[in-house]
Amino acid sequence: MGSFRPGDPAAVEQLFDQIAPRYDQLNDLLSLGLHRLWKRQAVAWLQPRPGQRLLDLCCGTGDLALVLAAKLRPGGSVLGLDAAAAPLQVAAQRSAAQPWLDLGWLQGDALATGLADASFDGAVMTYGLRNLADPAAGLQELRRLLRPGARAAVLDFNRAEQTWPAAFQRLYLRRLVVPAAERFGIGEHYAYLEASIARFPTATGQEALARAAGFRFAKHRPLAAGQMGLLQLMA
């Protein structure tokens, strides 16, 4: 995808519209299934409880929203928001097969959701913050939506600051991720990853942005030998 510019909202939306049917299969392949473990760690930080109202920003195909919804019964609900229509269609099909779960889906902008202030008891964002045009504004919007004391978990690639993890990450992206995506016919769509990580704030940078956005607690925890990161937040 030679014209793809990381942080370009229209390009990001088009990207995820095109890869939606194969997104989950690719996630399993490219992470060796470990993305499920990383998401469980995000859920563990969130501590979901029955009756809560949770938000999944940049929810994609809804796999994490479904996990959260199952933990909120009885009485709780999850709203999944994404800019791209195709992943939301996959998410809606998934939730229709589990009608006992209280899930809603909304196509919208994570930088300007239009949702009410302090309307959620917690939130997750997986592999979304890095793709926003302005990650700082994304954290500000996330903070606005949370009630005092609410927790949020932001999972994404980590911009490694040390030489060895950074070199390994480049090798992983160039020798595994892009070639694997090429076998699915969408290699050009994954070639953008390295550039998007290069413009992403470091761990300490993310913590600083979160505190500036009004979070009273912000701790970035490295995962997968520093290749991924979990930003733990408390409003």
Q: Indicate the pairing of strand 120-126 with strand 53-57.
A: parallel
Q: Which CATH number fits the domain that encloses residue 63?
A: 3.40.50.150
Candidates 196, 138, 139, 169; CA nearest to 11 is: 196
pTM: predicted TM-score of the whole model, two decimal places: 0.82
Quick one: pLDDT at residue 200?
87
Structural domain includes residue 2? no
Structural domain includes residue 54? yes
Candidates 200, 208, 92, 94; CA nearest to 155 is: 200
Quick one: pLDDT at residue 24?
65
Count up the domains in the chain and report the number: 1
Quick one: pLDDT at residue 83?
93
Quick one: pLDDT at residue 100?
95
Structural domain includes residue 3? no
Instruction: Give the bridge partners for 56, in sequence order.
Output: 80, 124
**Domain enclosing residue 181, as ranges:** 9-234
Quick one: pLDDT at residue 1?
38
- pLDDT mean for each 10 residues of the chain (235 residues): 55 59 60 74 97 96 95 97 93 95 97 98 95 95 98 90 68 68 64 75 95 98 87 98
